[in-house]
Structure 1
Amino acid sequence: MKTKILILFIFAFQISHSQSIFGEDKVITKSMSERWELDDEDKNGTFKLTYYNPVYVLPTRWSNNPNELPQSENPENSFEDPENYNQIEAKFQLSLKTKLIQSFLFGHGDIWLGYTQLANWQVYNDPISRPFRELNYEPELIVNFPLNITLFGLDLRMAGFAFNHQSNGRDLPRSRSWNRLVFHAAFERDNFQMYLRPWIRIESSDKDDNPSIENYIGRLEATFIYNINKHSLLVIGKNAMDFDENRGSLEVNYLYSVKSNLRLHLQVFTGYGETLIDYNHKQTTIGLGVSFIDW
């Protein structure tokens, strides 16, 4: 498993290098149309790998409350003995997408395949052999429609939906997974972008690894991106939309360009569900590292 993850990391780095994004001092920022090929002049055909979610490496990520005894409302998925986890570990994320079908439905839609992998690695924890504490795999099939509508001073540039699966690929009691139908709408104006993603959980006929996960991780995600010169701010908020117990999370990412899109990356997270194994565990984490691409 470690070998596969390292291969993926090297692959992503080579793609970045081949596109020469490290070879220029100018910060490369892309419009929403360039990222999602919305306008005719930005169409790029099918089966070409591009980036999707943020790609970063945080060699240092600190938690105020490590989840040493993961629990679930399903007793089969609850730990009985605590793990000796360090407060400091490494964290990284890889994410790619490719267009499967271009301009279907009378020329007004695209179908994409996306894949994101998030890793939390106890690389400094020698007493327990430096394990990967958690690996999350997230494939999704995305149906996207370009739009060009002005609402409340913002340009609604695209909307659609996705079939999303997320799991950690582990056996009991570590197993966590869920499926969602995710809707999305994306707005843009100048250097600002906003993505709204409400979802509905698709219930499984099999046993539930993580009952009530939507009451912790949430039912809605809002993402805000702002770029100015060498500075970028990415804010991701999730909310359960439950007025009795208003749970969720907030993640703030600040990036500063060192050379083109090689950026220093500071990430602060607080709330529930930083990873699937932590879906009902509340913590605050701070990570420092580098980001490789524009998003």
Structure 2
Amino acid sequence: MIIILTIFFTTLLSAQTLDLLYKKAKEYEQNGDFKEAMLAYKEIANKERNINRTYIDEEIKVTNDVITENLNPIENEETVETIEQILASNFNLYPYHENYLFPISYDTRKRSDGRNQMETKFQLSVKKPIISNFFGFNETVYFGYTHTSWWQLYNESAPFRETNYRPEIFVNIPYISSDKTALKGFKFGFLHESNGQDEPKSRSWNRLYLESYFQLGNLFAIPKVWYRIPEKEIDDDNPDIQDYLGYGDLTLVYPYKRHTFKLLLRNNMKFDDDNKGFTQLDWTFPFFGSKNTFGYIQLSNGYGDSLIDYDKEISRINFGISLSR
């Protein structure tokens, strides 16, 4: 009961504070003081996130207090703080790219390696903030990890046909201006991608990349360019990968009510017989009224479906659910 009352009054007071902040932010906007307005909106976003975490944090705190009371006395305060941190197991992990499960992932063409055209595909993707505003640009440095697997679930032995691992370090920098420009921010980082297999199926490459974010009404445009870090010829598993995946891509995102539509376009920019590209269309939509689980349909065609198939043209239809977007 104490927890419930604490949560209730905390939420009530926080809501009142948010109302005042919204009024203040609107006043700043009306007076043309966009910098102060952006700071106010940033404070609102932080407070809303704290409200959403109140219940979980309170449960964790009560559980930890019970465990801590049963521990033998420890005099050093820093040691006590370390123990509480271990008990909380709070690593501040957040969703990064989509986290999804496609029980139905269908390749429209038969392959010579004997794989089943119907398989299961899933992806896990998280990020962890490491440090913020170190250089004074409101930037945040993140570690990200994305794991994508293609699982031959409908084969008799149900092997994992391919898994791609993508650890990365990246920096997000918001672009804050008194003028409401379309440009909203930048992101740059280092990305490693590999499939963890031995020769001759081994595939890997390393890239430096730069993204920028633009908003045009409800439409968000995210152009991305990359530079492949060269490898020794003897160590290069896929020396011609850029002939198929090119040097960048463009993502368009259009949220509409509780739906999102996303289009990914990639091309090697060779306008001749060697032209290679990739197109992917994603649609997420409400899943039986859930606020954190979404129905997911994904259609794709072109080169680069996975690392092992980077040089093969694949048309794929996926149906399933997403836990983030």
TM band (smaller chain) = 0.7 to 0.9
Q: How far 1:47 moved relative to its partner?
A: 5.5
CA 1:203/1:66 → structure 2, altered by over 3 Å: closer, same or farther?
farther
Q: How far 1:144 moved relative to its partner?
A: 2.1
Q: Which residue is equivalent to 1:263?
A: 294
Q: How far 1:221 moved relative to its partner?
A: 1.3
Q: Which residue is equivalent to 2:251?
A: 223
Which structure 2 residues correspond to residues 134-173 of structure 1 after superposition, within 5 A? 134-148=162-176, 155-173=182-200
Show structure 1 runs of 5+ residues with no match.
Answer: 1-38, 69-82
Relative contact order: is structure 1 or structure 2 higher (C-alpha 8 Å, sep ≥ 6)?
Answer: 1
**2-structure distance, mates of 1:65, 1:150:** 52
CA 1:175/1:67 → structure 2, altered by over 3 Å: closer, same or farther?
farther
**1:66–1:283 contact (8 Å) kept in structure 2:** no
Q: Which stretch of the first structure deviates more once superposed, 218-227 or 115-124?
A: 218-227
**1-structure distance, mates of 2:145, 2:110:** 27
**2-structure distance, mates of 1:234, 1:150:** 29
Write the letter of the residue equivalent to 1:108.
N
**1:67–1:281 contact (8 Å) kept in structure 2:** no
1:53 to 2:84 alignment: no
Show structure 2 runs of 5+ residues with no match.
Answer: 1-40, 51-89
**2-structure distance, mates of 1:56, 1:150:** 38
Per-residue deviation, residues 17-40 of structure 1 (Å, max 9, x unmatched): xxxxxxxxxxxxxxxxxxxxxx74
**299, 305, 310: which is aligned to 1:274?**
305
Q: Which residue is equivalent to 1:13?
A: none
1:202 to 2:229 alignment: yes
Q: Which residue is equivalent to 1:79?
A: none
Report the 3-state secondary structure (helix = DSSP H, G, I; strand = E; otherwise coil) of the residue aligned with 2:182: strand
Q: Which residue is equivalent to 2:203?
A: 176
Q: Which residue is equivalent to 1:233?
A: 261
Report the 3-state secondary structure (helix = DSSP H, G, I; strand = E; otherwise coil) of the residue aligned with 1:112: strand
Q: Which residue is equivalent to 1:286?
A: 317
**2-structure distance, mates of 1:227, 1:106:** 31
Which structure 2 residues correspond to residues 58-207 of structure 1 after superposition, within 5 A? 58-68=102-112, 83-126=113-156, 129-148=157-176, 155-205=182-232, 206-207=234-235
The Cα RMSD (Å) is 2.4
Per-residue deviation, residues 50-71 of structure 1 (Å, max 9, x unmatched): 1111111100011122544xxx
CA 1:280/1:168 → structure 2, altered by over 3 Å: closer, same or farther?
same
**1-structure distance, mates of 2:227, 2:169:** 15
Provide the TM-score with structure 1 as the length reference.
0.75
**2:116–2:155 contact (8 Å) kept in structure 1:** yes
More strand by share: 1
Report the 3-state secondary structure (helix = DSSP H, G, I; strand = E; otherwise coil) of the residue aligned with 2:154: coil
Q: Structure 1 vs Structure 2: percent identity of aligned residues?
A: 36
CA 1:112/1:254 → structure 2, altered by over 3 Å: closer, same or farther?
same
Report the 3-state secondary structure (helix = DSSP H, G, I; strand = E; otherwise coil) of the residue aligned with 1:215: helix
Report the 3-state secondary structure (helix = DSSP H, G, I; strand = E; otherwise coil) of the residue aligned with 2:136: helix
**1:148–1:155 contact (8 Å) kept in structure 2:** no
**2-structure distance, mates of 1:40, 1:227:** 21
Which protein is bigger by CA-based radius of gyration? 2
Report the 3-state secondary structure (helix = DSSP H, G, I; strand = E; otherwise coil) of the residue aligned with 1:105: coil
Q: How far 1:160 moved relative to its partner?
A: 3.1
Per-residue deviation, residues 205-257 of structure 1 (Å, max 9, x unmatched): 35210111011122111111111123211111111122232212001011211
